[in-house]
Every structure is written in C-alpha cells, then in structure tokens.
Amino acid sequence: MTADIEAARYKGRHAFLEVLWVFLRLGLTTFGGPIAHLGYFRSEFVERRKWLDEAGYSDIVALCQFLPGPASSQVGIIIGTLRAGLAGGFAAWVGFTMPSALALIGFAYGIGRLGDLSHVAWLHGLKIVAVAVVAQAMWGMARNLCPDRERATIAVAATLLTLAVPSTSGQIGAIVAGGVIGWLFLSDGNKAATTPLAIPISRVMAITSLTLLAFRAPRTRQRDGRSCGRAHQ
C-alpha cells in the first residue's frame, strides 16, 4: 500500500512538472493571438504528444469558445487539468501566461522610456507576421473541424454573421445558431463512439466553483462600473 501511494505521488509530481515544462516552452516559443495558440495546442497535444484525440480537443475548443474570456487560456487550463489534475491546470496557466506577462511588463517600461513606437518599421513587420501565423493556424484547424460541406457551410455562415454584426451580439448569435443547426441536422451523422473526457474534478467541487462564480460576477461588474464612473469624473 505504501509503495502504491509513493508511486501515485511520484506520478503526480512528474505529471505536474511535465505540464509546467511543456506549457512554459509553448509560452516562450509560440506567437500570435488565441486562434494561433489553438493551432499550436492541437499540433502539440493532439498530433505530437497524443494527450487528446481529435474529437476530445474539438469538444474542448467548442466549449471554451462558448465561454466568456480568452479561449486559448481556457483550453490550456483544461488540458493541464486533464493531464495532472487541478495542479496541472494551474501549471498550464502559469507556464503559458508568465512569459508573455513578463514580456508585456518589460515592453511597458521600454515604451515609457522610448516614447511612441506606433510608426516603427519593425513593429509593422511583426504585425504582418502575426497575420500569417493566425492564417496558418486557422487553415490547419479548418481542415479538421470542417471536413465536409455541411460543417464548412456553417463555418462560412458564422463568419458572414460576425462580419455583418461586428459586436458581442453577432458573436453570441453565431455560436447559438451554429449549436442549434448542428444539433438539428448533424447529430445523426456523428454517432461514432468516442471516449468521454475524464475530468479529475468532483461534481461537488464543480458545482461549488460555479456557484462562487455566479455570486462573484455581479460584484465584479459593479466594481468595474464604479471605476469607470470615477474615471469619467
């Protein structure tokens, strides 16, 4: 029994350090915005490391796109949690976010000393490279998430809707419409057996966390509203 406990502890520590190292490396070597990050995550965790299958990763991305907040950070936290529990989720968040946070702090101090850099040539070059990185990530995900005419049509329609209504309402409308259309017309064609994701979080903890979030969100909005009011005075 003692040997089993020690083995479980070692496995837990190893998984935590593995998650921290992998996400730290990604945080130091990947560029672009959330869409590009999702492409990097798929290449790393689905194709290379086989931590997830294609269906599981697609489900995680769809869930995080539906939730408010940065989808790439949420996907990373979920992957870390699946690999090493709650500690793995924290390790994924720290490893992937810390490099960019430190870089932003450094750039903020640098811009404060150097002045306006909006017209610097190298900054415009970085913007062009970022467009190429995001386009490559979107193309790679599109080939796997939209492999047939039906799903490609939904993706194009969602794109047109968000362009026609460039606001939060357009984004929410595209998500809701895509979900309803998929539920009504695509469910019969996707009956293949898939392995459910084993989330290492109890139902009690999940419900408790959701309840705390529900009570916390209104207070956060009220505080932000008061801060904006003071800023305009």
The reported pLDDT for the residue numbered 25 is 93
**d(Cα 40, Cα 73) in Å, to the nearest integer?**
12
Indicate the residue type of 203: R
**d(Cα 32, Cα 135) in Å, to the nearest integer?**
10
CA-nearest of 157, 125, 169 to 31 is 125
The 10s digit of each residue's pLDDT in 170-205 is 888 888 888 888 888 776 555 555 667 777 788 888
Q: Residue 166: left if φ>0, alpha if ψ -120 to 50, beta else—which one?
A: beta
Indicate the residue type of 210: L
The reported pLDDT for the residue numbered 94 is 94
User: Which residues, other chains included, contact 200 with Cβ-Cβ below 8 Å and sequence gap of 6+?
Assistant: 81, 82, 85, 86
Does pLDDT of 231 surpass 50? no
Taking CA 5 as the corner, what is the angle to CA 2 and CA 6, rounded to the nearest 5 degrees?
Answer: 85
The average pLDDT across 101-110 equals 83
Q: Over the chain, what is the mean pLDDT?
A: 79
The average pLDDT across 55-64 equals 87
Angle between helices 168-185 and 149-164 (to 10 degrees): 160
Lowest mean pLDDT among 2-16, 32-46, 165-179: 2-16
Model confidence, pTM: 0.73
Distances (CA, A) of 209 to 93, 174, 201, 204, 213: 18, 28, 11, 9, 6
Dihedral (Cα; 89, 224, 228, 171), 10-degree rounding: 60
Question: Would you say 142 and 35 are in contact if contact means Cβ atoms under 8 Å apart?
Answer: no
Does pLDDT of 85 surpass 70? yes
Q: What are phi and psi of 30, to 5 degrees?
A: -105, 145
